[in-house]
Amino acid sequence: MRLLAIVFLLCFSLASCGDPVTNHKILSTIFDGVPSLPPAGEMCNEYYQERVAAEVAGQDMTAGEAASLKNKGSSHKPYAEKKCRDCHSNDKNVNAGLISPKRELCVVCHIDFIKGSNVHGPVAVGDCLACHLPHSSQYPSLLKEDPDSVCAICHQESRLAAAMHDRFVVKTISCGECHDPHAGDARYFLK
């Protein structure tokens, strides 16, 4: 299992920045005096910047527009439509004035929401409000924090796969690009 993970990681890191590594190998074979490889975390930066630029160009978006999309606000449909009674009741003494206990409220409408054999801790216990706001948010998907920071509300612990993850942080790839926030069939809810 461990070996498998290592092999996987190795393939992963080579695949994710194959170009600079291959280029370097070719260059070092042909010419002498090619400087040694930069640290792993920086190795793909140039390649990554180019990829981002290409993606942005492909979508006819400026880098600024792409960034503002990440911080686009959102509003919950029943709230925007002023259907307050879909969630709030008259009796403040029962369920703190909600139609059902807080940890069961969201799945009243979001039926069969959890898909996959591995379920993320807070989702499994119905704590949707650990990451979401019920009414509206300055971020997409009613998130409490921007998509790049929402995981860090809880995950401050050091990663087992630390070396790999540090590289993504350097390159500001969101956790959600690889992990589903809710659940999945793959280990660690990998997409």
Enumerate binding residues for ligand HEC (CB under 6 A): 5, 74, 76-79, 82-84, 86-88, 98, 102, 105-110, 113, 120-123, 126-132, 134-135, 141-143, 147, 150-151, 153-155, 159-161, 165, 168-169, 173, 175-179, 181-182, 188-190
In angstroms, give the least distance from the CB of 7 to ligand HEC. 10
Those residues whose C-beta lies under 8 Å from the C-beta of residue 125, and which sit 6 or more positions away, are 103
In angstroms, give the least distance from the CB of 36 to ligand HEC. 25
Q: Which is nearer to ligand HEC, 27 or 136 (CB)?
A: 136
Distance of CA 174 to the CA centre of its chain: 4
Asked whether 154 and 122 are in contact (CB, 8 A), the reply is yes
In angstroms, give the least distance from the CB of 29 to ligand HEC. 30
Tokens 């009414």 belong to residue: 135
Asked whether 48 and 38 are in contact (CB, 8 A), the reply is no
Q: Which is nearer to ligand HEC, 24 or 102 (CB)?
A: 102
Those residues whose C-beta lies under 8 Å from the C-beta of residue 134, and which sit 6 or more positions away, are 76, 79, 87, 142
Q: Which is nearer to ligand HEC, 56 or 98 (CB)?
A: 98
